[in-house]
Amino acid sequence: MKVSILGMGAFGIALTKILKKEIKISMWTNFEDELKCVELKRENSMVLPDVKINKEVKLTTNIQNSIKDADVIFIAVPVSAIREVINLLKPYIKENQIICSVSKGIEKETNMFVTDIIKENLDFEFSNICAFMGPSFAIDLANNNNIGMVVASENYELSEKVKSLFNENNICITVTSDIVGVEISSAIKNIFAILCGMTEGMKLSESTKAAILTILINDYRLIMGILGGKESTIYSYAGIGDFLLTCMSSKSRNYSFGKLIGQGMDLYTALDNMQVKTIEGLYTLDSIYNILKQKEVNVNSINLLYDVIYNKKEIKNLLKEISN
């Protein structure tokens, strides 16, 4: 059994730590300088310091060689790079190969989810595509902490095959056919994490935070229904599990960004303070805001955050304004 991991970022490296030892692994990056740095130390110190990549894992910038004879191809690049990577993959992929996305979010320009982009560009049957999601920081996976994850695919046998790749001593994996709901969940939780971070930055009481979290969970349920996901997915690892992890942890980049916004910083000052260019929740906010607007649906939490981020709206009573 062989797998190919496209992307040498934190989550891609973490995957190498939870796959069964007998599986052959190839990792690909599109950047020669990244390959050289990772080869030198057998780690990507920029995103996951002190986590060593096993010597058995082959590293390459040749995507054709990386996916050759691979049973499963994991897509582990940022959403903004998905389309480019799929186009590089297209000339070499075989119809019997499984594509598994671990990338969370929505493409800003098209408002498309990752598996939809894959399907559109490869002319694949949807039954060849799955998503692997759940409440999991890369460092926790790499350290073999106990984690709950979900494999989502319309093809049950495919889900079980992907599930069988992982060492389940520390990982509890469930399967679902609701790939749409899983992708919705993995995207919108980043928006709500910004709002939850704001409650910390504004130094709101624990009681107020709990009330706001209740409203966000209800808005989550509302958006899930509007976009075509199943309500049952909300109560899975990929649903409430990922929602709570992202919305309540300072390890979350989106939560940390929201905290700075809550302290009174504007968009660009907050980004400069964090020394990053990308906050996943911002891309998702733009997309979800536009999708809901097209559907003529108002979700207060989404509208309010959009106004705070882009129109510099001042908030006097977050709970009252988010519940109106």
Lowest mean pLDDT among 44-58, 116-130, 154-168, 237-251: 116-130
For 64-101, how does the pLDDT look when each residue is reduced to its tens digit (9 = 90+)?
999 999 999 999 999 989 999 999 999 999 988 999 99
For 141-197, how does the pLDDT look when each residue is reduced to its tens digit (9 = 90+)?
999 999 999 999 999 999 999 999 998 888 999 999 999 999 999 999 999 999 999
Quickly state the pLDDT bin for 324 (edges 50, 70, 90): confident
| pLDDT of 14 strictly over 90 | yes
| pLDDT of 124 strictly over 70 | no
| pLDDT of 125 strictly over 80 | no
Cβ–Cβ contacts within 10 Å for residue 50, how many?
A: 9
The stretch 184-213 carries a mean pLDDT of: 96
Q: Which domains does the chain have, with CATH numbers?
A: 2-177 (3.40.50.720), 181-323 (1.10.1040.10)
- Are β-strands 72-75 and 24-28 bridged in parallel, bridged antiparallel, or unpaired? unpaired
For 255-278, how does the pLDDT look when each residue is reduced to its tens digit (9 = 90+)?
999 999 999 999 999 999 998 767
Provide the pLDDT for residue 278: 74
Residues with Cβ within 8 Å of residue 99, at least 6 apart in sequence: 72, 73, 75, 93, 118, 122, 124, 128, 129, 130
**CB-CB contact of 39 with 70 (8 Å):** no
CA dist 101 and 112 (Å) reads 14
b/e string for 107-143 if b means 16 or more Cβ within 10 A? bbeebbbbbbbbbeebebeeebbbbbbbbbbbbbbbe
Which residue is it, tokens 């009481």?
A: 205
Phi, psi of 83 (to 5 degrees): -60, -40
What is the residue-averaged pLDDT of the chain?
A: 94
Question: Between the CA of residue 297 and those of 230, 273, 307, what are the distances in Å?
Answer: 18, 34, 16
| pLDDT of 21 strictly over 70 | yes
CA dist 280 and 267 (Å) reads 13
The stretch 281-299 carries a mean pLDDT of: 93
